[in-house]
Amino acid sequence: MTAAPRYSGLYETSFVVTKNPKKADLAVHISKNDGPGIAIIKEVQKAQDKYPYTTSLAIEEIRRRLGKAGVELKVGEDVKQFNTFHWGIFVRFYGFKGEPRFAYDRSLKTEKQASYIYSQQA
């Protein structure tokens, strides 16, 4: 049994704001608040560009920077490496997951478990 070929298409829709209703295909109004209407988008941002770090990548970057600065984490006399436990403390204390400057939940609405990515500011 062979699988049927699959096809897909990419459709892009552009809206142009005009004051002349005779030149318009569709009548809309600009709404700055929630509700019916449209909003003007000044720029499109990819979440991966604004939030480049997963938890493991953030931990790797922090370890690299601590090493470069010559900082050692010590518990008593034991030298420890920055790890997920330390990262979790920072995330909870500074409220990273509730602050758009620091984190973005990239999980799908159908997923039960949240999946966060983090910004350079975090």
Does residue 109 sit within a domain? yes
Q: Judge whether 58 lies within some domain.
A: yes
Would you place residue 87 in the very low, low, confident or very high pLDDT band (cuts 50, 70, 90)?
very high
Is 6 contained in some domain? no
Query: H/E/C letters for each residue in the chain?
Result: CCCCCCCCCCCCCCCCCCCCHHHCCCCCCECCCCCCCECCCCCCCCHHHHCCECHHHHHHHHHHHHHHHCCCEEECCEEECCCHHHHHHHHHHHCHHHCCCCEEECCCCCCCCCCEEECCCC
Is 20 part of a structural domain of the chain? no
Q: Structural domain of residue 64, as residue ranges?
A: 46-118
Q: Is residue 26 in some structural domain?
A: no
pTM score: 0.62
Domain total of the chain: 1
Per the domain annotation, does 50 fall within a domain?
yes
Question: Does residue 41 have a pLDDT over 80?
Answer: no
